Amino acid sequence: MVEEELPISSEAEEVQHYEPKKGISGCFWGPINWFRVLCVEMHWSFVFGVLMVYGVSQGLGGALARVGTEYYMKDVQKVQPSEAQVYSGITNIPWLVKPLWGLLTDVVPVFGYRRRPYFIFAGIFGLISMLFLSLHKSLHIAFALLSLLVGSTGVAIADVTIDACVAQKSGSHPSFAADMQSLCSLSTSIGALVGFSISGIFVHLIGPRGVYGLLTIPAGLLLVVGFVLKEPPIHNFAYGQVHVKFQDAASSMWNTLKYPDVWRPCLYMYLSFALSLNIYEGMFYWYTDSKDGPTFSKEAIGYMLSIGSVGSLLGAFMYQYGLKDHPFRNILFWAQLVLGLSGMLDFVLVLRLNLKFGIPDYLFAVIDESIYRMTATLKWMPLLVLSSKLCPPGIEGTFFALLMSIDNAGLFSSTWGGGLLLHLMNVTRTRFDNLWLAILIRNVLRLAPLTLLFLVSRGDPASSILPNEPHDAKAVEDVPDSKDIELVSLVNSADGR
């Protein structure tokens, strides 16, 4: 191990003294050297794991799954928009119980390993569920939802496992916390950009079921991550003490949550997402089915979402290179304000006011999607950085998963609330008379979180938030150092997301 660490240390010193070039060459080499610095400081295996899980599994695979599922519900299962909205919330339930997966990965090793088996489990769940959906022509909606639920569980488990590594690195390298979240967001955005670009084409050529068949590839690559992950085995683990470790972890989480600078932003995160009602299914059906709407094709929907991913990518760049050092509250104020105001673009589009100004529907929809994705990213990234700084040592994976489950609970409430709103407004597959009113109500509620910003600290993003005293020592017992977890070189292995 000493021989391997020496060249890394010397390279780290070289990177530390590196001064980026200015001008056009600096714009080109800047991101490359930033990526290189992360590989050196965080270890290349960590960067590789982020790219695989966030870039391929969630970015590329998530984009294909989103478009494929929307057309699967509309054209294969033939459900109403409000029903599709509710079903979308059901398939996200595994993300609400992320603390459970976090506890398992933190305190329950399988065959002597903490991380590798959970990546393998995630890959198996994804493979089985996607194959089941792709091979059955007329699947009952209950079994379809169950399959989507199992696939979502696989992605959630993989997400929690890599999140544990991100939280550990944020604790040991607090000055790189924002950079790591930028890497995660950029990976997801680039993967989504590619995925959305090809999603409409594949849905048109092979149908939604064929897309589910393609999604076995990202699931298989999660298996690859599980097999190549180099992790020191744990010998003589006392499985009889697992319940004690669960209790210790729960105690540590509760003690942390009682800290005002922790529970206050947690409450804000939930309410800010819950109040921003999600009525996308109503917009999607109007885009594709309404006689008075633009009737976009499958390819057009995919391209629109892919261009929207460029907006998300732009938001990540803006945060990384211009906003990451600003106080959380300031960024969240402007992001939430722009998010609420930009929702009026949907209002203009549904009332066809854009045509009176000579702006084509597709161009206006692309602008609308891009602004929304960019603003949502600018709101999401400071919340991720804040969450990573709230994690106590030893149970980083569990507590970060708890914080993300709070966000997902807000999104779940937003999705079901949006479905209820569409139902109350009588928005169906063929009736969209009140869709404009649903959009207006949603936009007003999007501005409500501005009154809750007092819950978020104005503190410096680079400073620590948790108190200095250590948390329950038992909770961190037997937790391997993040430096001991690395990915084996893929020189002699198959390439894989």
Report the range of poorest mean pLDDT among 87-91, 458-462, 489-493.
489-493
Q: How confident is the model at residue 467 (pLDDT cuts 50, 70, 90)?
A: low
Mean pLDDT over 312-328 rounds to 79
Written in H, E and C, the secondary structure of the chain is CHHHHHHHHHHHHHHHCCCCCCCHHHHHHHHHHHHHHHHHHHCHHHHHHHHHHHHHHHHHHHHHHHHHHHHHHHHHCCCCHHHHHHHHHHHCHHHHCHHHHHHHHHHCCECCECCHHHHHHHHHHHHHHHHHHHHCCCCCHHHHHHHHHHHHHHHHHHHHHHHHHHHHHHHHCHHHHHHHHHHHHHHHHHHHHHHHHHHHHHHHHHHHHHHHHHCHHHHHHHHHHHHHEECCCCCCCCHHHHHHHHHHHHHHHHHHHCCHHHHHHHHHHHHHHHCCCCCHHHHHHHHHCCCCCCCCCHHHHHHHHHHHHHHHHHHHHHHHHHHCCCCHHHHHHHHHHHHHHHCHHHHHHHCCHHHHCCCCHHHHHHHHHHHHHHHHHHHHHHHHHHHHHCCCCCCHHHHHHHHHHHHHHHHHHHHHHHHHHHHHCCCCCCCCCCHHHHHHHHHHHHHHHHHHHHHCCCCCCCCCCCCCCCCCHHHHCCCCCHHHCEECCCCCCCCCC
pLDDT at 436 (0 to 100): 92
Mean pLDDT over 197-210 rounds to 90
Mean pLDDT over 410-415 rounds to 89
Mean pLDDT over 475-496 rounds to 35
pLDDT at 7 (0 to 100): 37
pLDDT at 10 (0 to 100): 36
153 or 6, greater pLDDT: 153
pLDDT at 479 (0 to 100): 39
pLDDT at 396 (0 to 100): 63
412 or 400, greater pLDDT: 412
- Among 6-10, 454-458, 476-480, top mean pLDDT goes to 454-458
pLDDT at 262 (0 to 100): 80
What percent of the chain lies above the pLDDT cut of 70? 83
Q: What residue ranges define each of the domains in the chain, with the CATH number in brackets?
A: 31-487 (1.20.1250.20)
Is 372's pLDDT higher than 70? yes
Is 9's pLDDT higher than 50? no
What percent of the chain lies above the pLDDT cut of 90? 20
Q: How confident is the model at residue 468 (pLDDT cuts 50, 70, 90)?
A: low
Report the range of poorest mean pLDDT among 198-202, 275-279, 337-341, 492-496.
492-496
439 or 243, greater pLDDT: 439
pLDDT at 324 (0 to 100): 74
State pLDDT tens for residues 34-70.
778 877 777 777 777 788 888 889 889 999 999 999 9
Q: How confident is the model at residue 25 (pLDDT cuts 50, 70, 90)?
A: low
For 325, counting Cβ atoms within 10 Å of its Cβ (0-12 exposed, 13-18 middle, 19+ buried), the class is exposed
User: Which tokens is 370 given?
Assistant: 């891009």
State pLDDT tens for residues 156-182.
898 888 877 776 677 677 777 777 777
Is 478's pLDDT higher than 60? no
pLDDT at 394 (0 to 100): 62
Q: How confident is the model at residue 347 (pLDDT cuts 50, 70, 90)?
A: very high
pLDDT at 34 (0 to 100): 75
For 400, counting Cβ atoms within 10 Å of its Cβ (0-12 exposed, 13-18 middle, 19+ buried), the class is buried
Mean pLDDT over 440-451 rounds to 92
Residue type for 133, please?
Answer: L
State pLDDT tens for residues 209-243.
999 999 999 998 888 888 877 677 777 776 677 77
pLDDT at 464 (0 to 100): 60
Is 472's pLDDT higher than 50? no
Q: How confident is the model at residue 22 (pLDDT cuts 50, 70, 90)?
A: low
Is 99's pLDDT higher than 90? no
pLDDT at 139 (0 to 100): 87
Residue type for 173, please?
Answer: H
Is 128's pLDDT higher than 80? yes
State pLDDT tens for residues 263-302.
888 888 899 999 989 998 889 889 887 677 788 888 888 8
Is 127's pLDDT higher than 90? yes
